Amino acid sequence: MIGDSSKLPKTLQKLILEAEEITKKSTKLKLIVAVSYSGRDDIVQACQGIAHKVKDALLEPTDITESLIDQELKTNRVIDFPSPDLLIRTSGEQRLSNFLLWQLAYTELFFVESFWPDFGEREYAAALCFFQSRQRRFGKRVLEDDSYWVGTFIDTMGSKPMERMQYSIGVWYTMF
């Protein structure tokens, strides 16, 4: 589990701890439940951890790399979790909603109108077809001569503060 479970009822917090203990040696399915998880907070706490290491002379500022930041993120403290290749966003929303901001840098994004409880085999097949049609370039644009150009994305949309939910839940898994 990643995020802030303190907003959940104590009985649910206890169940989460018990489930983590029972399943910690599982090798076939890795499940991460995000409760009140914030991608921004994940990046901030990773930077704070690195800053403490620099302050304590365990690291030099020049030692800070993307790989080091990645290692300090909550998702990698739970398990060695690779960045997702595909994110399926249900409910017609077309935003990341502060979810896995660092990890989704090169993830293909698929948006579907159906809500999670109604998401079924047809939508899943459509998402897989979409993913298969993508040319994974990891930030580079292929030119006609097969050379690469690194592109920049600029978001010109503004945003208004929205009332936050008491807690949000996200779930993802990977099978080995």
Residue 155 pLDDT more than 70? Answer: no
Q: Give residue 45's pLDDT.
A: 93
* Strand 86-89 to 29-35 pairing: unpaired
Q: Tally the C-alpha atoms within 13 A of residue 59's C-alpha that lie toward its C-beta.
A: 16
With cut-offs at 50, 70 and 90, classify the pLDDT of residue 48.
Answer: very high
Q: Give residue 149's pLDDT.
A: 37
Average pLDDT of 24-50?
Answer: 86
Q: 122, 144 in Cβ contact below 8 A?
A: no
* Strand 148-150 to 2-3 pairing: unpaired
With cut-offs at 50, 70 and 90, classify the pLDDT of residue 86.
Answer: confident
Q: Give residue 62's pLDDT.
A: 96
Q: 93, 111 in Cβ contact below 8 A?
A: yes
With cut-offs at 50, 70 and 90, classify the pLDDT of residue 79.
Answer: low
Q: Give residue 163's pLDDT.
A: 34
Q: Give residue 173's pLDDT.
A: 46
Which 8-state DSSP code applies to residue 175?
A: E
State the alpha helices, DSSP H only, in 73-149: 74-78, 121-133
Q: Give residue 78's pLDDT.
A: 67
Lowest-confidence region among 80-89, 117-126, 129-138, 152-161: 152-161
Q: 102, 42 in Cβ contact below 8 A?
A: yes
Residue 157 pLDDT more than 90? Answer: no
Q: What is the pTM (predicted TM-score) of this model?
A: 0.68
